[in-house]
Chain A
Amino acid sequence: MSEIYTLHVNGEDHEVRDSWIGENLLYVLRERLGLKAAKGACEQGECGSCSVQLGGRLVCSCLVMAAAAVDEPIVTVEGLAGDDVPTDVQTAFVETGAVQCGFCTPGLILAAHHLLDDTPEPSESEIREALSGNVCRCTGYGRIIEAVQRVSVARSDRSSNGGDA
């Protein structure tokens, strides 16, 4: 229990002390840094609930050794929006009914942002493949797909209307 290391999470440095090297990033985020948005539901990378961005990649934080995640910036749902204002993806999820129990939601929010940043106008098939690593047990996914499509259309409309006006 002698590890001391620093994680760069949501733009801030967090020192982690007295940890065990076997701790995964999900555990450290939740239990040592108090960032509880990422959820644990399988510990095998088979549900996506713990998704975070690590160095710009979308990964399962349960499969990241926390003590080895020191070199790259980490983004969790807590770091997505400033001033508590929800992002367009977050708003769309609530409005379309993509949220029921909400346990899978933080992981899906990050995955949806990741997809739309990479592919602004995804086809339905691309949405399904990009989000296939995020299991939802409540919604049957229909509203989630609609939420992503709604954001894609809104962003496209906004950019074709010449920006944020």
Chain B
Amino acid sequence: MPVVFPSSLAEAVAAAGERPDAMVLAGGTDLMVEINERRRSVPWDDGAVIAVGQVPELTSWTLDPSAATLTIGAAVRWADIEREPLCSTVPALAQAARTVGSPQIRDAGTVGGNLATCSPAGDGLPVLAAYDAIVHLVSANGRRSLPVHDFMVGVKQTALAPGELIESVSIPLLDGWQGYSKVGVRNAMVIATASACIATDLPSGSIRIALGSVGPTVIRCADAEALASSGVDWSGRSIDADVADRAGALAASASRPITDHRSTADYRRHAVSVMVRRLLIRAFPGAAS
């Protein structure tokens, strides 16, 4: 079993059950970097790969209007999320998609790959966390579903069990402004120094704030969310500058950044406060809108 090309999800699950050690290949944009740099060893013989990039159930998405849920197959590519119709359905995710690597990377890389790699800097992850998305996993033993927050366990660590595949991620659609922001030192093709997503839901009066690249996994900022949700003028869609500032500060204090060769912890905290403040003002522009 070198490379298996399952033609259905059932075949993929069967293959993964047969070889739980197999590498699962979708877009390849993370896996191949590890192989190219020998951070992942591949034996001369008997290497096992399950190529899921063409499995119909994984490459499609479905919109269920009655449940107000969008379910995106794990092998849907960022280039598809960046464009219509998904671009209007999940704007913050589309904004994040547009910042993933280069056009070439977005034409190959997938949502499921972003989840499975679970990099602290994964561009889609803060958005999925802000959406309270559910990750659907499947294996020979059956299906299970986890909130994305529980799926992300640590730096490049997930709840995926051996032989288990990511089937899809479902997103409860929100009714309100949403947006994503990402700081990088270059104006394109850059790993996030810090990122933030704000998603609002008018009917429930909730504001979700999620941060990327400032902790082992995505951080949701409960205090900042609470402050912002209660502090904004929902009917006037406005927010006091002071509330936005304080929410930004609370988000910064919720972050747990490190200092590394890409930036410093202090800067990352600072960037979080600025991004969250600006995103809140974009979400609640008041009369300016």
Contact = CB atoms under 8 A, between A and B. Distances in A.
A154 to B, nearest CB: 23
Interface in B92-140: 101-105, 107-108
Interface stretch (B34-42, B146-154, B158-166, B247-255): B34-42
A134 B104 CA distance: 9
B54 A21 contact: no
Contacts of B37: 43-44
A111 to B, nearest CB: 8
B188 to A, nearest CB: 4
Contacts of A85: none
B45 A46 contact: no
B49 A48 contact: no
Interface stretch (A61-69, A74-82, A142-150, A156-164): A61-69
B107 A58 contact: yes
B47 interface: yes
Contacts, number: 105
Interface in A51-65: 51, 54, 57-60, 62-65
B42 A22 contact: yes
Interface residues of A, number: 33
B25 A45 contact: no
A64 B104 contact: no
A129 B188 contact: yes
B2 A2 contact: yes
Contact of B25 (A51, A65, A111, A130): A65
B152 to A, nearest CB: 23
Interface of A: 1-3, 5, 20-22, 24, 43-46, 48, 51, 54, 57-60, 62-65, 67-68, 70-71, 111, 129-130, 132-134
5 contacts: A48-B102, A48-B104, A71-B5, A132-B103, A133-B104
